[in-house]
């Protein structure tokens, strides 16, 4: 799960995606320009010297600590691991903002804006390659005072490509089309691409890639490189089904060398790692708490961010230098805040369950609970009875789903997944069991992101009765070659299903027991409820399917590392609002978790889908990209590597002594990790 960095700096443009998302994510306003090899004036930008303005403080006196409740531990404090196999939203919260980037997305509107870059990049076609040059700010430093330079960028990009880093890393460096990163000087970086850089590979990819400190990680990286020194790629195709003994040995040795190199990096001790964000993560005691301390060297501390309703984005740095883009700063201000950090400390209390965390909020133990899950009405009402509790509701940008391991039989069968889709009555579970606290989901794009959401994804099973669902699922399975010793059927007198007995798969073998992994009710009662109902409905068809509810972090290994599961139920916080590159990460065949360790956990392998997503990631035409996302949503709804289950409204509860820079945004306060740098916790 990607974290969304909160970084701002000076501005300019290669491709602009300007999206105005209101409280419930209305249709965005979009402007697109692509300039491979040509000088095109895209938008005039103006750097204006300005007198420093007086800081506007929300009122009150700042506190010693911003107290945040969590109900799960992070996996690691190692950022390499966080974007690798240790990817977890809980890790995101305690590392939020610590790794800088050259470019980022602006607040609320999600404009593509520079961060540590001084200006938008220049792109030039030179022969058969494309070169993108970025000038960096020359006065930003890590928390230990070491300058952040182009050498840090090169170091991080090279590590990503050279060690074949996994999970979220490939979209940070795009080694398939991004061939080189060079430090022209200490504060100028040149990126070389073998193909014209597109919205996916540049804007949503390398341009927003995180940067890690070379001076801290150099020794660890050297020991990781040692594992692959002298190792050459085998001549044989290691993905072939049949290999000679010698070729298999060469492939195994090659894979092992890189696996050991990555493991050495992912498992390295990150204690003392410097930050470039508003806070430094200093302590973590498993099951108890984590602590962050303010970074006095934060480059953007005291910078003022202003947005106008004519589309203007503006930043005024503490030295009085102002920069604006996307408009003339006319009309009304729709956003105006000054960046922190404000509180000297952030303390995360880890409660172990959602109930305990929200009761702690009601009792005044914490100021805010970061909640990536749905919130049951009863628990919300109980928490809101606490003194001074405010609620903030926004459209969500997340996806909760059941996934199938397509590498295994019978999950690889189309009819098997179709039958599951038929029997999963989302509306029943949500309305009759969960009292409507979440919303049924039919597409792999949340409806809150209105520009990319396809409202016409087919929903053929909505409104079917239980009897109709059972009968249809039986017919689908029979047509696919399934049979029973005693076929299931709907009994009119019982008004219920008589379960099947002795189910046989199309290959003539009895169906083996399958397990649906998922988090337990203490962690997320909504997903646990879905898990139990889906398992029961499958058993009615005679399928030996069981629900296995376990700890969230316990699921990560079988799913995201070993690819050793039957089915699982989890959720994603989807990251980049302006360009949904997760359609590549989650389902392109090159990202098969079992082969590469990346995020295609089901192992979908479809040349048709790959062709669509390859065009999507490489195009510079935003309208064409949108058409492709619409097509991919329809394809995924039909093939069902995931079956989307539900999405939620983001309901954030916080005490009234917390002044947030803004509260209306897609994904809510949770998506911004509680605005740790820019929130003002005040004494009452």
Asked whether residue 252 is domain-assigned, the answer is no
User: Distance between CA 648 and CA 650 in Å, rounded?
Assistant: 6
Asked whether residue 383 is domain-assigned, the answer is yes
pLDDT higher than 60, residue 24: no
Residues 570, 672 within the same domain: no
How far the first Cα of the chain sits from its last, in Å, is 36
Residues 299, 338 within the same domain: yes
Residues 437, 565 within the same domain: yes
Residues 659, 637 within the same domain: no
Residues 378, 525 within the same domain: no
| Residue that is written with structure tokens 């520079």 in the block | 114
Q: Phi, psi at residue 237, to the nearest 5°? A: -80, 105
For residue 539, how many other CB atoms are within 10 A of its CB?
17
| Residue that is written with structure tokens 């040995």 in the block | 249
> Is pLDDT larger for residue 506 or for residue 48?
506
pLDDT higher than 70, residue 10: no
Tens digit of each residue's pLDDT (9 = 90 or more) over 424-455: 999 999 999 999 989 999 999 999 999 999 99
What region does 218 belong to: left with phi over 0, alpha with psi -120 to 50, or beta?
alpha
Number of domains in the chain: 2
Residues 326, 446 within the same domain: no
- Mean per-residue pLDDT, 133-148: 97
Burial class (CB in 10 A: 0-12, 13-18, 19+), 199: buried
Angle between helices 354-362 and 377-384 (to 10 degrees): 20
| Residue that is written with structure tokens 């399917």 in the block | 545
CA-closest candidate to residue 189, choices 158, 162, 219, 146: 158
Residues 389, 405 within the same domain: no
CATH number, domain of 367, equals 3.40.190
- Mean per-residue pLDDT, 228-239: 91
Asked whether residue 41 is domain-assigned, the answer is no
pLDDT higher than 80, residue 33: no
pLDDT of residue 325: 86
Asked whether residue 617 is domain-assigned, the answer is yes
Extended strands (E) in 310-449: 313-316, 321-325, 333-338, 345-350, 368-369, 389-395, 398-404, 439-440
Residues 565, 675 within the same domain: no
Residues 336, 452 within the same domain: no
Asked whether residue 545 is domain-assigned, the answer is yes
CATH number, domain of 576, equals 3.10.105.10
Asked whether residue 458 is domain-assigned, the answer is yes
Tens digit of each residue's pLDDT (9 = 90 or more) over 621-634: 999 999 999 999 99
Domain of 359 in residue numbering reads as: 279-394+653-681
| Whole-number average pLDDT of the chain | 89
Asked whether residue 418 is domain-assigned, the answer is yes
- Mean per-residue pLDDT, 300-313: 95
Residues 562, 577 within the same domain: yes
Asked whether residue 255 is domain-assigned, the answer is no
pLDDT higher than 80, residue 57: no
Tens digit of each residue's pLDDT (9 = 90 or more) over 314-349: 999 998 888 888 989 988 999 999 999 999 999 999
- Mean per-residue pLDDT, 304-323: 92
- Mean per-residue pLDDT, 45-59: 35
Residues 550, 673 within the same domain: no
- Min mean pLDDT across 9-23, 227-241, 499-513, 670-684 is at 9-23
- Min mean pLDDT across 31-40, 75-84, 168-177, 463-472 is at 31-40
pLDDT higher than 70, residue 49: no
User: Distance between CA 498 and CA 309 in Å, rounded?
Assistant: 61
CA angle 186, 192, 195 (to 5 degrees): 160
pTM for the model stands at: 0.83
Tens digit of each residue's pLDDT (9 = 90 or more) over 143-198: 999 999 999 999 999 999 999 999 999 999 999 999 999 999 999 999 999 999 99
User: Distance between CA 258 and CA 166 in Å, rounded?
Assistant: 11
> Is pLDDT larger for residue 27 or for residue 464?
464
pLDDT of residue 323: 83
pLDDT of residue 375: 87
Residues 528, 386 within the same domain: no
Query: With helix as H, strand as E and coil as C, how does 404-424 read?
Result: ECCCCCCCCCHHHHHHHHHHC
User: Distance between CA 57 and CA 680 in Å, rounded?
Assistant: 9
- Mean per-residue pLDDT, 253-261: 96
pLDDT of residue 684: 53
CA angle 134, 139, 145 (to 5 degrees): 125
Query: Which of the four pLDDT bands, split at 50, 70 and 90, describes residue 240?
Result: confident
Tens digit of each residue's pLDDT (9 = 90 or more) over 513-532: 999 999 999 889 999 999 99
Tell me whether strands 129-135 and 188-193 are parallel, antiparallel or unpaired: antiparallel
Tens digit of each residue's pLDDT (9 = 90 or more) over 87-108: 899 999 999 999 999 999 999 8
Query: Which of the four pLDDT bands, split at 50, 70 and 90, describes residue 17?
Result: very low
């Amino acid at each position: 799960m990607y974290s969304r960095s909160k970084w701002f700096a000076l501005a300019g443009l290669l491709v602009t995606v300007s999206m105005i998302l209101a409280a419930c994510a209305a249709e965005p306003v979009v402007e697109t320009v692509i300039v491979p090899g040509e000088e095109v004036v895209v938008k005039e930008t103006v750097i204006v010297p300005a007198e420093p303005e007086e800081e506007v403080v929300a009122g009150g006196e700042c506190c010693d600590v911003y107290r945040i409740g969590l109900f799960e531990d992070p996996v690691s404090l190692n950022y390499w691991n966080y974007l690798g196999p240790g990817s977890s939203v809980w890790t995101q919260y305690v590392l939020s903002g610590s790794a800088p980037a050259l470019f980022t997305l602006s607040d609320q509107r999600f404009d593509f804006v520079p961060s540590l870059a001084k200006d938008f990049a220049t792109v030039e076609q030179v022969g058969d390659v494309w070169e993108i040059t970025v000038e960096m700010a020359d006065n930003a430093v890590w928390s230990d005072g070491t300058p952040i330079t182009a050498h840090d960028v090169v170091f991080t990009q090279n590590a990503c490509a050279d060690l074949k880093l996994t999970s979220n890393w490939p979209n940070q460096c795009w080694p398939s089309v991004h061939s080189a990163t060079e430090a022209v000087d200490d504060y100028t970086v040149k990126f070389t691409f073998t193909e014209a850089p597109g919205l996916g590979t540049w804007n949503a990819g390398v341009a927003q890639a995180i940067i890690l400190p070379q001076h801290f990680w150099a020794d660890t990286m050297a020991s990781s490189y040692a594992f692959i020194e002298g190792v050459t790629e085998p001549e044989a195709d290691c993905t072939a089904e049949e290999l000679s003994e010698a070729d298999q040995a060469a492939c195994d040795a090659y894979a092992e060398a890189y696996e050991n190199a990555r493991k050495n990096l992912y498992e390295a001790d990150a204690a003392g790692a410097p930050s470039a964000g508003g806070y430094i993560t200093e302590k973590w005691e498993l099951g108890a708490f984590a602590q962050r301390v303010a970074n006095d060297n934060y480059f953007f501390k005291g910078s003022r961010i202003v947005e106008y309703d004519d589309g203007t984005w503006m930043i005024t740095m503490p030295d009085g230098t102002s920069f604006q883009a996307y408009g003339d700063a006319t009309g009304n201000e729709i956003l105006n805040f000054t960046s922190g950090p404000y509180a000297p400390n952030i303390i995360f209390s880890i409660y172990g369950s959602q109930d305990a965390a929200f009761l702690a909020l009601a009792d005044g133990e914490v100021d805010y609970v970061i909640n990536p899950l749905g919130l049951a009405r009863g628990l919300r009402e109980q928490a809101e009875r606490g003194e001074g509790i405010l609620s903030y509701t926004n459209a969500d940008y997340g996806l909760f789903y059941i996934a199938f391991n397509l590498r295994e039989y019978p999950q690889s069968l189309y009819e098997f997944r179709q039958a599951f889709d038929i029997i999963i009555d989302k509306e029943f579970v949500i309305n009759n069991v969960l009292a409507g606290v979440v919303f049924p989901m039919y597409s792999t794009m949340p409806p809150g992101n209105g520009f990319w959401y396809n409202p016409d994804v087919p929903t053929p099973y909505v409104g079917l009765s239980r009897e109709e669902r059972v009968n249809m699922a039986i017919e689908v399975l029979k047509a696919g070659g399934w049979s029973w010793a005693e076929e299931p059927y709907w009994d009119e007198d019982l008004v219920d299903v008589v379960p099947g007995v002795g189910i046989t798969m199309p290959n003539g073998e009895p169906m083996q027991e399958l397990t649906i992994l998922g988090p337990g009710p203490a962690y997320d009662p909504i997903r646990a409820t879905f898990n139990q109902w889906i398992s029961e409905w499958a058993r009615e068809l005679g399928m030996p399917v069981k629900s296995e509810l376990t700890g969230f972090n316990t699921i990560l290994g079988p799913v995201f590392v070993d690819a050793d599961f039957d089915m699982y139920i989890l959720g994603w916080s989807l990251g980049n609002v302006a360009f949904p590159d997760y359609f590549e990460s989650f389902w392109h065949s090159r990202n098969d978790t079992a082969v590469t360790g990346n995020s295609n956990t089901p192992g979908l392998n479809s040349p048709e889908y790959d062709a669509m997503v390859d065009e999507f990631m490489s195009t510079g035409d935003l309208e064409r990209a949108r058409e492709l996302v619409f097509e991919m949503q329809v394809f995924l709804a039909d093939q069902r590597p995931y079956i989307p289950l539900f999405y939620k409204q983001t309901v954030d509860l916080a005490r009234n002594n917390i002044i947030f820079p803004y509260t209306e945004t897609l994904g809510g306060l949770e998506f911004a990790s509680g605005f740790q740098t820019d929130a003002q916790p005040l004494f009452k």
